[in-house]
Chain A
Amino acid sequence: MSSWIQILLDFIWASSGLALVAFSLGLILGELRIVNIAQGDLMMVGAYSMYAMRGLPFLIALPLTFVVGLGLGFALERGVLRWVYDKGFMATLLATWGVGIVLEQGAATVFTVSQKGIDPPIKGLIEIGDVVYPAYRAVVAAGIIVLLAVLLLLVYRTSFGLRLRASIDNVEMAAVLGISPQRTFAMVFALATALAVLAGALIAPTIAINPTLGLSFLAPAFFAVLISKPGSLAGPVLGAVAVEFTFTLLQTYLNITVAESILFGLLALFVVVKPQGISWSRTTAREEAS
C-alpha cells in the first residue's frame, strides 16, 4: 500500500514538470510550427540561473529567472528564428538545434561541466500514511498544477486566449483580423521559453545540474506533444500525464532502460495507429479543407 502511495506521489511530481515543458513545447509547435529541440536546454538555463542566483532568496530568484527566460526567448526569436520562418520546417528545426548546442556549450564554458546542486528552499518532509515525502516536491507539483490550470483558463476562456488560438489555427486569417503574426510569434516564443526556464528552475533543487540535463526531458516531452493533435494546447498536458503514467507503470516493474525502450516501442506503435495524434476534445479538429 505505502509503496503505491510513493509511486503515486512520484508520478504526480514527474508528470507535473513534464506537463509544463510539454505545454511550452506544444505552444511553440502550434503557433510557430517549430519543433524546438532546444526546449530541454532552456530548462537547463533555468537550473543554472537558479544556481547563479543561489545567494538570493528562492522566491526572488525564481521570478528573476522567469524574466531571464522571457528575455532569452525574445532574443532568440528576434535574433535567430525569425530569419528562418520562410525557409521551411527543417531550417527552423536546425536553427533550434544550433541554439541548443550553443546554450549547452555556453553553460559548459561558464559553469564547467562538473555537476552543481542547490538546496531546496523548503527542507521539510510531509507524511502521508507511512510514506515520507519531500515537502518541496509536493509544493512545486501543486504550484505547477495551479499554474497550468491558470494557463489553460487563459487560453480557453479569455480574449487573449481566443486571439492566440485564432492565430494558431490560421495565422494569415488572424493577421487579416488585426492579430499581428510578428508580435504574436515573439510573444508566444518568449512566454514558452520562460515557462521551460521556469520548469528547469523549479526542478533544479531536486537534480544534479549539468549542461546536458535537458536531454532527458526532451524525448518524453516530445512524446507528449506527438500523441496529441497538432495545435491543441490542452493536448500536450494530457499527453504528458499519459506518457508519465505509462512510464511510471513500466518503471515500477522493469529496469529503467528497458522501460524506456518499451515506452519508445509503444510510441512507435501509437504513431502507426494514430498518425495525427489524439484529439482530446471533440471540436479542436483543424483539417485542411482546401
Chain B
Amino acid sequence: MVQTNRWRAFGAEALSSRPSATGLFNSSRAVGLALFAAAALCPLFLSEFKVGLIGLGLTYGLFAVGLDLAWGRTGIISIGQAVFFGLGTYGVAIALVHHGSSLLGGAVGIGLAAVLGTFTAAVGLRRVTNPSTMAVLTLAITLLAEKIARDWWSVTGGSSGLYVPPLTSTYSYYYICFAASIGLVGMIWLAVLNRPLGNRLTAIRLNDRRAEHLGIPIFRERLVAFALSAVVSAIAGCLSAPWMSSVSPDRVGIVLSTQVLVWVAVGGKATLLGPFVGAVAATYGQDVLASAMGDSYLLLLGVLFILSVLLVPNGIAGLFLSGPQLADTTPAAKAPAGPRGEHGGDALAAEKIVKRFAGNTAVDGADLRVKASEIVCLIGPNGAGKTTLLNILSGAIDCDTGSVMLRGERIDSSPPHRRVAAGLARTFQIPSLFPGLTVAEHLILARQEAGMVVPLPDAYARLEHENAGRRVEMLSLSDRRSLEIAMALCSRPVVLLLDEPAAGLARHEADALAQTLRTLRDQVGCAIVCVEHDMEIVRNLADRVVCLHHGKVISEGTMAEVAANPDVRRAYLGLA
C-alpha cells in the first residue's frame, strides 16, 4: 500500500520534472536562432526607449539564468536572489555617483555576492539541514538587505536611492549588454552545464540521496552551484545599473526576488533560453501593460505564476524542448574486469555498532565481518535493525558509537560519497533512481563518477543494450533493481550492499536473482552484504547468514546452522 503510493509519487515527480538540460542546442535551435537574431537586430527597428527596455530585459534575463543555476538546475530554492543582483547594482551605482571606477565598484559587489552566497549555502545546505532552512534564510536575507539599504543613508542614499547618470549612447550599451549576456551564458554552458559538473547538478536535483550514494559530493557541488548563481546574478546587477535612472532599495528587495522567480518559472526552468524569454517578455510587457492596467498588472503576474506552477511546471520553453538531459561524459579509461587489488584482512568490518532513535535502540552493539568476495545475508524479523545497520555502513545515517572499517581503512565518519570512492556501493529497498532519465543516462552518471568504464556482467550488460533509451519509469521493478545494481557495479565496489533485492519480485524473477548475484560475485569479485527476507533466496545465495534481533547479532553461520538455532526460532515466532 505504502509502496504503491510512493511509486505513484515517484511517477508524478518524474512527469513534472523533465526539463531539458541541452535546451537551446536541440530541437529548439530554430526558435533560439530566431530570438537571437531578433535581439541582435532590434535596435535597427525600435525606438531608443524600447531598446533600453529590451536591454534592461536582457540583464534581467542573465539575472534569471543566475537563479536558474541554483533553482532550475540544482534544485536549491532561493527566494532572495535579488540580494545578489542588488549588490552588483549598488556596487556600480555607488562607483558612478562618486565618479569612481564602475569596474571596481562592480567587482566589489560581485565579490560580496560570492561571499554572501557561499556563506548562505554553507549554513543552509548541509546534509543534515531541513529543506525549509534555505527558503527561510534566503527570504530573511532579502528582507534584511532591503532594510539595510533603506537605513544606511550615507552609502545607499536611503529610500530615494542613488541617482545614476544617464547613458551617453543607448545603442552601444545595448550591444555591450547583449554581448556580455550571450558570452556569459555561453561560458556557463561550456564550463559548467555541458560538463560533468552540470550532470552532477542535474543528478542532485533529481535525487540527492541517490547522487551521494553514487559518489557525488552533494554539499560541495550545491555550494558551488549556489555561489556561482550568486556571482552570475551580481554580474547581471552590474550590467543593469546604467539602465536605471536611480538605484533604490527595491533592487535588493523581496519584490524583485519574487519577479525573478516568476520569470524563470514562466519562461522555463533548466533551459538557457527560458529565463531570457521570461525576463524580456515581462520587462517589455510590464511597460505596455502597466500603462494600460496599472497595479492590476502585478495581480495578473501573480495569477500567471500560480497557473504556471500548477499547469506548466516546466514553463514556456519546457513545452518546446525535449531531448537528453545529460551531457555524455562517459570516460575513455577502461578498467579491467575483476576485483580491485588484493588486501589481506576483511573487506568490511563493523564493530560494536550502536544506534538509538529517540531512546529506541535500533542497533545494539552489532558486529559484522565480511571477507573479500564473501556473500553475507542479513536476516531477522521486522524491526531487527537490518536496514538501519545497512544505512550505517553506507553512511546514510551516522552511528552513535562503534567503528566501520573498509579494507582496513576507517570510514565511519566519512560522508557517503567518500565511502563510494573507498569501495562501498549500495542499493535501496525501493529502487532509488533518477526520475525522467534514461537507462543510458543513469550509466553515464555512474561511469562519470567512477572515472572509468567497467565491463558489466552479462545480465546487466543486456539490460543496458535492450533498454538504453528508455526512461526508468518505463522499466519493470526487477529491471529497476538491476539498473541500481549495474550503477553500483560501475564504481568497482569492494563491498556491495543490497537492501532486499527480491522484495516485490515475481517468484521466477526472485529465483533467478540468487543465481545472477552469485555469478556477479564470481565475475566482479566483490563481497555482497544482502538484507533479505526470502529464505529460499538466502539459502541459495548466502555463503554465511547473520541473524539480527533487537539490534543484536543472535546467530551466524550457514543457513542450516542459523535455522537450527533456538534463539532464531524464538525471535521469528515472537517468543522473545
List the interface of chain A (C-beta within 8 A of B): 29, 35, 37, 80, 83-84, 86-91, 93-95, 97-99, 101-102, 104-106, 108-109, 113, 172, 176, 215-216, 218-219, 222-223, 225-226, 230, 255, 257, 260-261, 264, 267-268, 271-272, 275-277, 283, 285-287, 289-290
With a CB–CB cut-off of 8 A, which chain B residues contact A29?
Answer: 132
Of the residues B8, B123, B131, B429, contact of A268 by C-beta under 8 Å: B123
Minimal Cβ-Cβ distance residue in B for A89: B131
- Give Cα A101–Cα B299 distance, bound, in whole angstroms: 7
Q: Is B124 in contact with A264, judged by CB distance below 8 angstroms?
A: no
Q: Is A275 in contact with B128, judged by CB distance below 8 angstroms?
A: yes
Chain B: minimal CB distance from A133 (Å): 27
Q: Is B147 in contact with A260, judged by CB distance below 8 angstroms?
A: yes
Minimal Cβ-Cβ distance residue in A for B205: A90
With a CB–CB cut-off of 8 A, which chain A residues contact B303?
Answer: 98, 102
Given contacts A101-B298, A230-B130, contact A290 B306 (CB under 8 A): no
Q: Which of B130, B148, B359 has the most C-beta atoms of chain A within 10 angstroms of its own C-beta?
A: B130
B564 in contact (CB, < 8 A) = no
Q: Is A219 in contact with B13, judged by CB distance below 8 angstroms?
A: no
B137 in contact (CB, < 8 A) = yes
Chain A: minimal CB distance from B108 (Å): 19
Q: Is the interface of B mostly helix, strand, loop or mixed?
A: helix
Q: Is A98 in contact with B357, judged by CB distance below 8 angstroms?
A: no
Q: Is B309 in contact with A91, judged by CB distance below 8 angstroms?
A: yes
Given A215-B143, A219-B140, A287-B358, 14 additional A-B pairs, CB 8 A: A35-B136, A84-B309, A101-B258, A104-B302, A176-B1, A215-B254, A216-B143, A219-B143, A223-B136, A257-B144, A268-B123, A271-B124, A275-B130, A290-B391
With a CB–CB cut-off of 8 A, which chain A residues contact B261?
Answer: 94, 97
Given contacts A218-B143, A264-B141, contact A105 B296 (CB under 8 A): yes
B342 in contact (CB, < 8 A) = no
The A-B contact count (CB < 8 A) is 151
Minimal Cβ-Cβ distance residue in A for B306: A98
Q: Is B358 in contact with A99, judged by CB distance below 8 angstroms?
A: no
Map CB proximity to A onto B127-157 as digits: 1 under 8 Å, 0 otherwise: 0111111011101110110011011100000
Given contacts A260-B144, A283-B358, contact A101 B133 (CB under 8 A): no
Q: Is B136 in contact with A80, judged by CB distance below 8 angstroms?
A: no
Question: Size of chain B's interface in residues, with CB distance under 8 A?
Answer: 62
Q: Is A271 in contact with B123, judged by CB distance below 8 angstroms?
A: yes
Residue pairs across A and B with Cβ atoms less than 8 A apart, 25 shown, are A37-B79, A86-B9, A86-B12, A88-B16, A89-B131, A95-B309, A97-B79, A98-B302, A101-B258, A102-B303, A105-B295, A176-B1, A218-B139, A218-B143, A223-B136, A255-B151, A257-B148, A260-B147, A271-B129, A271-B137, A272-B126, A275-B133, A283-B358, A285-B358, A289-B360
- Give Cα A226–Cα B135 distance, bound, in whole angstroms: 10
Minimal Cβ-Cβ distance residue in A for B265: A94
Q: Is B358 in contact with A84, judged by CB distance below 8 angstroms?
A: no
Q: Is A80 in contact with B306, judged by CB distance below 8 angstroms?
A: yes
Q: Is B139 in contact with A37, judged by CB distance below 8 angstroms?
A: yes
Q: Is A222 in contact with B139, judged by CB distance below 8 angstroms?
A: yes
- Give Cα A73–Cα B217 distance, bound, in whole angstroms: 41
Q: Is the interface of A mostly helix, strand, loop or mixed?
A: helix
With a CB–CB cut-off of 8 A, which chain A residues contact B136?
Answer: 35, 219, 222-223, 225-226
Of the residues B141, B144, B302, B359, contact of A105 by C-beta under 8 Å: B302
Chain A: minimal CB distance from B389 (Å): 12
Q: Is A101 in contact with B301, judged by CB distance below 8 angstroms?
A: yes
B387 in contact (CB, < 8 A) = yes
With a CB–CB cut-off of 8 A, which chain B residues contact A222?
Answer: 136, 139-140
B37 in contact (CB, < 8 A) = no
Given contacts A86-B8, A94-B261, A219-B143, contact A272 B295 (CB under 8 A): no
Given contacts A83-B310, A102-B303, A261-B144, contact A93 B5 (CB under 8 A): no
B436 in contact (CB, < 8 A) = no
B170 in contact (CB, < 8 A) = no
Chain B: minimal CB distance from A274 (Å): 10
Map CB proximity to A onto B142-177 as digits: 1 under 8 Å, 0 otherwise: 011001101110000000000000000000000000
Q: Is A84 in contact with B310, judged by CB distance below 8 angstroms?
A: yes
- Give Cα A257–Cα B153 distance, bound, in whole angstroms: 12
- Give Cα A272–Cα B129 distance, bound, in whole angstroms: 8
Of the residues B8, B17, B128, B302, contact of A102 by C-beta under 8 Å: B302
- Give Cα A86–Cα B17 distance, bound, in whole angstroms: 12
Chain A: minimal CB distance from B565 (Å): 26
Q: Is A272 in contact with B123, judged by CB distance below 8 angstroms?
A: yes
Q: Is B302 in contact with A35, judged by CB distance below 8 angstroms?
A: no
- Give Cα A267–Cα B133 distance, bound, in whole angstroms: 10
- Give Cα A86–Cα B313 distance, bound, in whole angstroms: 13
Q: Is B137 in contact with A93, judged by CB distance below 8 angstroms?
A: no
- Give Cα A24–Cα B12 distance, bound, in whole angstroms: 29
